[in-house]
Structure 1
Amino acid sequence: MSYPPPSGQDPYAAQPDPYAPPPAANPYAQPPAYGSPVVPGSPVAPPGSPVAPPTPPYGEAYKSATPPAGQQPYAQPYAQQPYYPAARPQNSMALVALILSLVGLLTWITAPIGAILGHSAMKQIRQSGEDGEGLAKAAIIVGWIITGLGVVGCLCAFVLPMLGILGAVGSSSSY
């Protein structure tokens, strides 16, 4: 059974959609000061107001809520703060290995020590999950290259002249 419309109202007039979202509030509007009267129907209307305030979008309740009298404003929730993972610790042996490998440019003897320490640092990094894999690899590469260049330099400086002397002595004959 349907009831007739009240007199003076058009039954086909546009009715407001009860499921439509509430009109968006002005994001640039200044919030009311603490203790100031609130207009009914505003987003921060008290529970006893005749018009219920529209429900704010998720997460907006923290921004527009005013704290009770005598309390400090609430902090932002943890979900809205950026998350930065903790940095992994640096493997100190990898740094020492790289330093010794580079010092091997000046004093050849520290280059193989730096390369060997680089291998040890790589093993520690795999077991503990620390940072410094790039430093250890650089120490290994630089250390062995400098060691190889040092060995070739020693061969050129000491062995080749000795071979030249021995060749000259062996080839010298008196006629």
Structure 2
Amino acid sequence: MTYPPPPSGQDPYQGQPDPYAPPPAANPYAPPPTSVPPVAPQSAQPYSDPYKAADPYAAAPQLQYGQPPYGQQPYGGYPPARPQNSMALVALILSLVGLLTWITAPIGAILGHSAMKQIRQSGEDGEGLAKAAIIVGWIITGLGVIGCLCAFGLPFLAVLGAGGSSSY
């Protein structure tokens, strides 16, 4: 499809700027543009000491665009605290209660292992609690097993040993 030629003597693009033309060159001798209005002269003071300390109770300076409001820190401050893993705390409590009731110590140690796995996956706090629960729980469990063997196993072995030999 072709377009008909423009009427004779008329250029349809006359008066339109060339979109591919370079921008006009700036005048190097022109004064720089000012966006700040000129400052009015202030009243003359008889004498001002340039070495005098500034008044610490003076009003806060006016804020410009992009500045944080008065009293707000320009940076984020401290990062928010990570959440605590509650299973690690429960595991430590059960391991320590195992000192009184031996049966809760292995439960606390096993929960401590589960808490360590959760902490590695979620990035929560409480790794120290979980490690303490594991250590305390298995130590108390081991001491309980040794105590049970001493209390019940040795007399049982003594009975078996005495029953096998007869002295008539």
User: Normalising by the residue count of structure 1, what TM-score does the alignment of the two structures yield?
Assistant: 0.59
**1 CA distance for matches of 2:76 and 2:124?**
24
Q: Does residue 121 of structure 1 match 2:136?
A: no
Q: Give 1:161 shift.
A: 0.6
**1 CA distance for matches of 2:147 and 2:136?**
16
Report Cα offsets for 1:116-171 as digits up to 9, x if no partner.
00000000000000000000000000000000001000100011111111112222
**2 CA distance for matches of 1:87 and 1:149?**
37
Residue of structure 2 equivalent to 1:26: 53
User: Normalising by the residue count of structure 2, what TM-score does the alignment of the two structures yield?
Assistant: 0.61
Q: Which has the higher contact order (CA 8 A, sep 6+)?
A: 2
Residue of structure 1 equivalent to 2:23: none
Q: Does residue 104 of structure 1 match 2:98?
A: yes
Uncovered stretches (5+) of structure 1, i.e. residues with no partner: 1-22, 33-62, 68-73
Alignment of 1:1-175 (within 5 A): 23=50, 26-28=53-55, 31=58, 63=60, 65=61, 75-79=70-74, 83-174=77-168
CA-based RMSD of the aligned residues comes to: 2.4
Q: Give 1:29 shift.
A: 5.9
Q: Give 1:84 shift.
A: 1.6
Cα gap change, 1:28/1:164 in structure 2, threshold over 3 Å: closer, same or farther?
A: same
SS state at 1:86 partner: coil
Structure 2 residue identity aligned to 1:114: G
Residue correspondences, number: 115
**1 CA distance for matches of 2:110 and 2:86?**
14
Q: Give 1:75 shift.
A: 1.7
Uncovered stretches (5+) of structure 2, i.e. residues with no partner: 1-49, 64-68
Structure 1 residue identity aligned to 2:90: V
